[in-house]
Structure 1
Amino acid sequence: MTGTKESFADLIAAEDVLLFVNAAVTATGQREFHSRADHQRLSLSFLHEYVRVNYRSIYAAVLALDINDHNAVRIIVELLCTADEADPEQKRTEGRLIAARLAALPPQRVYRAFHALRSAKVNNRRTRAIQRDWLAARADLAHDAVKYRSALKTVARHTHNPLDGELGAFLFRPGKSTRYSDPRLDAYRRARYEQDAIYELPFTIAEGFAAKHGVPRARFLERIAPRMTRLERLRTQSTTGDTTGTTTDLTVMPLTRLALFVLSLPRAERHLRRAELTAALRASALRAAGPYAGSWGRVSAVLDDSYSSYGSGVKRRRPLAVALGAHFLLEALAGSYGAHWTSGGRDPLMVRPWGPSPLGSRVLDALEDSPERLVIVSDGFDNAPPGLAGEVLRVWRTRLDPERRTSIVHLNPVYDAEGFDVRRLAPSVPTAGIRDAEDLAALVEIAQFTEGRTGLPELLAYLDRRTERFLTAQKADRKADRKALQQHRQRTDQQSNQPGDQQGDQSSSRKADQGKGGR
């Protein structure tokens, strides 16, 4: 009897953990097609608190999985705000996971996490050490001082980090120095009076100075183009066009981001650029497939391009972009592949959110291909007719294929706030949340745990493997970052010691002072 209770408790724990993992992958607290933003936030807040209180070690280990940045930041903040609930061993493990995840997050997300800790008045020694270590590992704090000036200043004050030297002077004593040896800091100082200096700054900062100086948009974009990142160039490509004479190499873009860009183009432009866009999507998918390309055998996919795949105003076309990216990734993974869109369309490049969701009919079409794997990418709302997909999958699994010759997985890109999980099609089919199409292979692996054939020990072993792999990878990345940081500092020191550069800085400083006097 005791063993039965323990098994039942393990089953509940496994379900709770998988519930949270699905939410952490898909939910961002933003409005979805079927639920409002406040419902999303309330549901997500409950899950975070429930799992943190009942399964704190697992809650921290989720940082090693492919969860989205929104939930990664929230887990980090929650762990640091409730440090008194952890024992010493848990604190050590959490500290390693937090440091590794912070290193993998975009800097703006990290500064947002630090701001949340400041708002929560969390300023203990452990938290300050984590923040100082992250700042010390940054390859170029001068870039952060220019691009995230207010955020960096707040973190430095909150952690009692003086940031000695000209960086501290730039942040806390502006206007006191006539010049800075770092070219970015000095460019920021000069940009208030010199138009030429704004083209030495990051794009987002230069935009503000260009508006202040009244620089025409077309001329500004043409001159700043060499300093733009790929994503910035992609976002402004429709505006710049032939004006800048620059193009973005789409083949190096992440798969889901590239799919979002493709779907943002008018269908006429997609038709004209068919060869370029298709080649870019296939190259990105092949890169995401890695060594597993061509190893999945016969694969069929049911891909949802119904009206609900539009998402919402804040997550525009996100579910459809995941389906489009999954299409090209499955094509790369499969030996032979067949796609079945809910609209009945045959041209993936021309998909658009349209019509009902006849998932049941498309599942039947896909099973007729006799695949080894069937992958369904859908928000789980089957309405033409309602419930047909679940019934088809039930009959297939229980009567037609009880030996499970065909592996079936449902990947859902939309969090269901009312159900505290992603919506499922059938109890017999494993379902996992997905946010980025490039994570498909890893999520198919974790979906096996939702089927109920593996228990909590196997799930914990899987989390341990992922945690160890994550920490090892981040350790190697930190070594590479430290080497790059040393090289960068050596180059900076050499540049600052060159007489010509000092003369140039003095000349620029005189021009800025003259400009200030003229104003």
Structure 2
Amino acid sequence: MTTSTGTDAGLVAAEDVLLFVNAAITATGQREFRSSAYQQQLSLDFLHEYVRVNYRRVYAASLALDINDHNAARIVRGLLENAADASAEEKRTEGRLIAARLAKLPPQRVYRLFRELRAAKVNNRRTRAIMRDWLAARPDPAHDAVKYRSGLKTAARHAHLGLDGSVEPECSGELGDFLFRPRHRPGYRNQRLDAWRRAHYAQGAVEELPFTVAEGFAARRGVKREAFLERMAPRMTRLERLRTLTQRTGAGDAPLPADVDLTVMPLTRLALFVLSLGFEARSAHRAELTRALRTAARRAAGPHAGSWGRVAAVLDDSYSSSGSGEKRRRPLAVALACHFLLEALAAPGAYTPLWTSDRTDPLLVRPWGPTPLGFRVLDALEHGPDRLVIVSDGWDNAPPGLAGEVLRVWRTRLDPDRHTAVVHVNPVYDADTFDVRRLSPSVPTTGVRDAEDLPALVELAGFAEGRTGAAALYAYLDRQVARFVGDEGAGAAS
């Protein structure tokens, strides 16, 4: 890392890095409870530009961290749009990071990125090579042609792909005709391509298509939703099943659909689903939902399970945890997911959860009331935990500022030797401060989007205390980049 680490300038640089990482984890440019989408986007625009210009290598290295997909795509676009600012060595490192990150992004997000690059007229050789390599690695180009038709067409035009065998030999000639001359052939050898053609006049062909494509055909034909979902269930992905599960379950005592295994769902997505159910449905399916949440939490804890000793958690279920129209109940879902994950991370029987509403039943939490974080922090510290984790948007308002004062006194007078590790994880980006809102300068704060990332984020939050130095932060980034691109001997961020 070329940035000085033994001076005030190095410390400022480290703070800038952490600021950007927190934003890249939490912010998506969508409306939050206390800020509009415009404010969020304006704040993110500034941060991306600032970090890319001043810390380009760190900007690229952020692709190796647990940032959200929105910011990962923005970083890729920023690097490719401003390729002239990078050295040859930086371009090589960036190329590996971009390829590794695109492989992890959802395909619809990548196709959207390709459309943005075309609209911005970014068409250098490196960009075309990245697009070509990503498309060549797609497991089923015919599936993409049907499901992401406009995106694949845009990418093919922009990267100058002939689609005559360079992507998929079995579709030689067919794929190009399907995208650019769909009426040129009376039929297609590829079953998926031909199913799309036949679906325009034969209802039976609709069920051979990917779910989201078939959904459009079914709606145009007036097919009843329940019958359609039942027939398409074998062809739906896990996430598609989760999205449709709420309307099929209802709010009563009906059993959960047998064709959906909740235990394999990601923890935070599962928490969002649980909160989308009414109180009656949650109570009726308590055993199934609790078992699924605990199974997902144990899977997320992995090797860290049971290793955190005595853990206390302060979990924010105040009214602001309702989120916004775009992020409905997202902060509360993160808190609920963290509850079950912390239970798995703590030693057996050594976990104490404290909700701001004073509720004791996590399955029935709802966004309600003020945020008395100070009182809950006091209650948590009385248990003498080895680790205290606070999951909140940081708006301590009952009374205002009490949590920060409690944490200051605890750190400076009652526990100066830090026998209790305290960390604040915040699921909400504060557009006004270009960061997540902090409770106290004496307690590290990090952004969080998915509870599954909590163990890694707690490690990252330690750098925010300033005790390890900037050099340790940059060494951490180097290790993450080497792991991400599969080269343990690399020092890509340095």
* TM-score interval for Structure 1 and Structure 2 normalised by the shorter chain: over 0.9
- The answer for unaligned runs of 5 or more in structure 1 is 475-519
SS in 2 for 1:370: coil
1:304 aligns with 2:316: yes
Corresponding residue to 1:378 among 392, 415, 419 = 392
1:159 and 1:430 map into 2 onto residues whose CA distance is 45
What is the 5 A alignment of 1:154-169? Answer: 154-164=154-164, 165-169=173-177
Which letter does structure 2 place at the counterpart of 1:94?
A: E
Q: Please tell me whether the aligned partners of residues 225 and 244 of structure 1 are also in contact (alpha carbons under 8 angstroms).
A: no
1:443 and 1:229 map into 2 onto residues whose CA distance is 29
Query: TM-score when scaled to structure 2?
Result: 0.93
What is the 5 A alignment of 1:480-519? Answer: none
Q: Which residue of 1 aligns with 2:60?
A: 60
SS in 1 for 2:39: helix
1:247 aligns with 2:250: no
Q: Which residue of 2 aligns with 1:483?
A: none
Which letter does structure 2 place at the counterpart of 1:228?
A: M
Residue 213 of structure 1, CA deviation: 2.5
Q: Which residue of 2 aligns with 1:501?
A: none
1:171 aligns with 2:179: yes
1:348 aligns with 2:362: yes
SS in 1 for 2:407: helix
Q: Deviations over 1:341-360 (max 9, x none)?
A: 00001000000000000000
Q: CA RMSD in A?
A: 1.6
Residue 209 of structure 1, CA deviation: 1.2
Residue 6 of structure 1, CA deviation: 5.3
Q: Deviations over 1:480-499 (max 9, x none)?
A: xxxxxxxxxxxxxxxxxxxx
Q: Please tell me whether the aligned partners of residues 5 and 471 of structure 2 are also in contact (alpha carbons under 8 angstroms).
A: no
Which letter does structure 1 place at the counterpart of 2:440?
A: A
1:262 aligns with 2:274: yes
1:182 aligns with 2:190: yes
Q: Please tell me whether the aligned partners of residues 246 and 277 of structure 2 are also in contact (alpha carbons under 8 angstroms).
A: no
Equivalenced residue count is: 471
Q: Which residue of 2 aligns with 1:412?
A: 426
Corresponding residue to 1:277 among 268, 283, 289 = 289
Corresponding residue to 1:315 among 321, 327, 348 = 327
SS in 2 for 1:236: helix
1:235 aligns with 2:243: yes
Greater share of residues in helix:
1
1:243 and 1:210 map into 2 onto residues whose CA distance is 26
1:231 and 1:103 map into 2 onto residues whose CA distance is 18
Residue 455 of structure 1, CA deviation: 1.7
C-alpha spacing 1:349/1:5, structure 2 compared with 1 (3 Å): closer
C-alpha spacing 1:243/1:203, structure 2 compared with 1 (3 Å): farther
C-alpha spacing 1:66/1:411, structure 2 compared with 1 (3 Å): same
Q: Which residue of 2 aligns with 1:49?
A: 49
SS in 1 for 2:30: coil
Query: TM-score when scaled to structure 1?
Result: 0.89
Residue 237 of structure 1, CA deviation: 2.2
SS in 2 for 1:297: coil
Residue 212 of structure 1, CA deviation: 2.5
Q: Which residue of 2 aligns with 1:516?
A: none
2:320 and 2:19 map into 1 onto residues whose CA distance is 23
- The answer for unaligned runs of 5 or more in structure 2 is 165-172, 489-494
Q: Which residue of 2 aligns with 1:22?
A: 22
1:296 and 1:473 map into 2 onto residues whose CA distance is 30
Residue 246 of structure 1, CA deviation: 4.7
Q: Which residue of 2 aligns with 1:502?
A: none
> After alignment, is 226-235 or 327-336 more displaced?
226-235
2:5 and 2:183 map into 1 onto residues whose CA distance is 69
> After alignment, is 204-213 or 92-101 more displaced?
204-213
2:257 and 2:49 map into 1 onto residues whose CA distance is 51
2:445 and 2:208 map into 1 onto residues whose CA distance is 49
The structure with the larger Rg is 1
Q: Deviations over 1:123-154 (max 9, x none)?
A: 11110000000000001111000000011011
1:339 aligns with 2:353: yes
Q: Please tell me whether the aligned partners of residues 319 and 368 of structure 2 are also in contact (alpha carbons under 8 angstroms).
A: yes
SS in 1 for 2:486: helix
Q: Which residue of 2 aligns with 1:286?
A: 298
Q: Please tell me whether the aligned partners of residues 5 and 469 of structure 2 are also in contact (alpha carbons under 8 angstroms).
A: no
Q: Which residue of 1 aligns with 2:7?
A: 7
Residue 214 of structure 1, CA deviation: 2.7
1:144 and 1:280 map into 2 onto residues whose CA distance is 32
1:245 and 1:383 map into 2 onto residues whose CA distance is 42
Q: Which residue of 1 aligns with 2:375?
A: 361
2:257 and 2:461 map into 1 onto residues whose CA distance is 46
2:467 and 2:477 map into 1 onto residues whose CA distance is 17
Q: Which residue of 1 aligns with 2:448?
A: 434
Residue 245 of structure 1, CA deviation: 6.2
1:125 aligns with 2:125: yes
SS in 2 for 1:356: coil
C-alpha spacing 1:5/1:311, structure 2 compared with 1 (3 Å): closer
1:411 and 1:5 map into 2 onto residues whose CA distance is 26
Residue 30 of structure 1, CA deviation: 0.6
C-alpha spacing 1:395/1:244, structure 2 compared with 1 (3 Å): closer
